[in-house]
Structures are given as structure tokens and as C-alpha cells.
Amino acid sequence: MKSRIVILSAILCMSLAGCAGGVKPKESNISQAVSTAAAESEKNAASSEETSVESSSKAATEASTEVSEEVSEDMGGSSQIDISGCDTFTQIVDRKLESGMGYANVNIGGIDVLLVASGCYDNGDGNMAAIDASVYMYGDDGAIKYVGGVEAGGTAYPLAVKDGKLFVGGNHFMGKYTIDKDKLTAAEKAYEEFDEDGNATYFYESAEEDLSGETSDDSILPSMYDEYAEAEVVGFSVVEK
């Protein structure tokens, strides 16, 4: 009996030793997993930071691009419509304009013109306003001719007229247009562009002063915005067919 107890004790000790020996590999695996997770976390953090920097740079570039596109829109403007077979402004309105389009008669540079807008919106001041227009006038021969088109930067900048000039603006530009030699021409234009760091560069054009290019005077654009605020928003009639 005593010998059996000794044998059982020996077997029990060997079993415990085997169990104790089995714990060490598991501890090693956990330690390795923690180290791997930490390394991946650091790698992900670095990648996230790099992505954030790239995103910021991309956003700045896109913002600069938007400004350039906005100014370019103002330089191009609304597309002209087909006015063939029309001898009067009234005929253009009756025969060529589609439902939802707008029209208005204004005086630009001493010339009575027809503005045709692709669409209109309630400006909240009793006017149906527009941000784009094709401009038509009667030539010396009595025939109607297209003189140009304009497009503002958004509904916050409805087309307006003051002192015979058509005002066209956006968040970063403002222009005053007149008609010269049967062409819609920018009498004055001021705009700003930004680099990737947000630094502004100012530009100014004046047909009267024969100026065009970069300027250090950052007060010209705000001054033109002030003048625009005093201009009369063009009220368009909306076509319903």
C-alpha cells in the first residue's frame, strides 16, 4: 500500500510538472501578439497621419482650383440661343424661349439689350433673379445680334445693374460689364486666387485705365463688392408655356 502511494505521488508530480511546462508557450504567444498589435497600431497611426496630410494638401489644391474655375466661368458665361428668324426681342421670347427660362430688358452702356437667363429663382426681394444671361442687342442694320454671355458664382450673387454696368460676381471675383463695339466687355474686374497655404494673390483689370494683372492693392475687390451692394438686382420675367 505504501509503495502504491509513492508511485501515485510520483505520477502526480510528473503531471503537475507537465502542466506547468505547457503554460510558457501560451504566455510567449500572447506577448508576441501584443507586440505585433502594437507595431500594426503604430503603422496605422503613421499611415493615418500621412493620409491626413495628403487630404489637407488635396483640399487646398481643390479650393484653389475652384477659385480658378469660378473666375473662368465669369469669363465664359451663358451659351447663346438660336435666334434665327427673329426680328424683335418679343419674337425671341415668344418663339425661342422654353418654359422656366427668364428674360429682362435693361440698358447697358447706353444700349437697350435683352437678357435671356437659363433659369430664375425668387430672390426674396420681389424679384425673380438669375445668375446667368445671354445678351442681345439691335445692330446698326436693325438685326439682332448676340454680344456675349455672363454667369455669376451662385444665387448669392444675382445679376444687377448700376450706372449702365452689368455686375457679375462670386465669392472671389466681381466684374462690371459694358458694351463696346457690339461686344460685352469687362470695364472692370477684380479677383483673388489662393495658393496651397491659403495666401491670397489679387488681380485687377480695367479697360479704361488699360490695366491687367497682379496688384498689391487688396482693397479693390472689397470696394467693388460695396458698389455691387448698391446695384439694382435685375428682375426677370419667367416664361410659362
Nearest-angstrom CA–CA distance, 218 and 215: 8
Amino acid at 168: V
Nearest-angstrom CA–CA distance, 68 and 45: 35
For the segment 83-88, the average pLDDT, to the nearest whole number, is 96
For the segment 5-34, the average pLDDT, to the nearest whole number, is 41
User: pTM of the entire structure?
Assistant: 0.69
SS3 labels along 132-154: EEEEEEECCCCCEEEEEEEECCC
Q: Any residues with CB less than 8 A from the CB of 224 and at least 6 apart, and which?
A: 169, 174, 176, 188, 190
**Each residue of 154-211: pLDDT tens digit?**
999 999 999 999 999 999 999 999 999 999 999 999 999 999 999 999 999 998 888 8
CB contact at 8 A, 144 and 135: no
As beta bridge partners, residue 149 has: 134
Query: Pick the residue with more confidence: 79 or 194?
Result: 194
> Using CB atoms within 10 A of its CB, is residue 8 exposed (0-12), middle (13-18) or buried (19+)?
exposed
